[in-house]
Each structure stands twice: as structure tokens, then as C-alpha cells.
Amino acid sequence: MASWEDVERIAAVLPDTDLKGPRRWTVHGTLFVWERPLRAKDLDELGDAAPAEPPVAFRVADEGEKEALLADEPDVFLTTSHFHGYPVVLARLDRLAVPELEELVQDAWLARAPKRLAREYLDRTE
């Protein structure tokens, strides 16, 4: 299963990515993946389904992608009312396989990277 070291390793190779504080990665100054500790309201909402460890938050392309992730793997992905209307999904890092994490981090980066930078990256990696 994935770890924060995996998140750091994956994010570090993406162009124009910076670590802004502990476990907060940005592309071109915009947050795309970060640790999101659950607040009291989140814990109340989630009840027994709340993860023991702080989840990782990912930007996703849109609400449709968010809903698909939540529906496909509810034991891995979650959300709270705090993120209602925002293309952000939370995940239990200890339940993510590293290849899936790689895809999620890259997709989060692509969702937030400037279009030209994203296109250049995709041209080089495909």
C-alpha cells in the first residue's frame, strides 16, 4: 500500500512542482495534493467510517470524476460537506496501491497545471 513517501516521490518528478509546507504540493503555485486532517465536523459526519489517519486530498478534473471515485471504491475514497461542490476527493492512503496513487497524483497535477505545461508534459511522457 501507498505511503506519504510515495506521494512525495511521485509529486517531485512532475514539472513546476513544489513542496509548500509538510505534505502540501503545488504546481505553478496551485495546490493539487495535500494531507487533509479531519476536523470535528468531518468526524461527526463520517462517524465510524472516518479513517484513523489523516487522508490525502486530491484535486480531480470535475465533480463527475469525484463521484465516480466515491462510487467505485467507497472503502478508499471519501468526502465531507466541506468539499461539497469542489472537485476534491479524499483517500485513505493506506488502502491505495502505489500504481493507483501514481495515477491520482498525476491526474491531480494535470487538473491544476497550466494548460501549456500539462500539454508539454503529456507530449514528453506519451
- Per-residue pLDDT at 61: 95
Question: pLDDT digits over 14-24, tens only?
Answer: 999 999 989 99
Stated pTM of the model? 0.94
Average pLDDT over residues 70-85: 97
- Per-residue pLDDT at 102: 98
Q: Tell me which DSSP letter residue 23 carries.
A: T
126 falls in which pLDDT band (50, 70, 90)?
confident
H/E stretch holding 58: strand 56-59
- Mean pLDDT of the chain, nearest integer: 96
CA dist list (Å): 31 to 71, 82, 119, 122, 125: 25, 17, 19, 20, 22
Locate 23 and state its grid cell.
505534505
If DSSP states are collapsed to H, E and C, what string results for 82-100?
A: HHCCCCEEEECHHHCCHHH
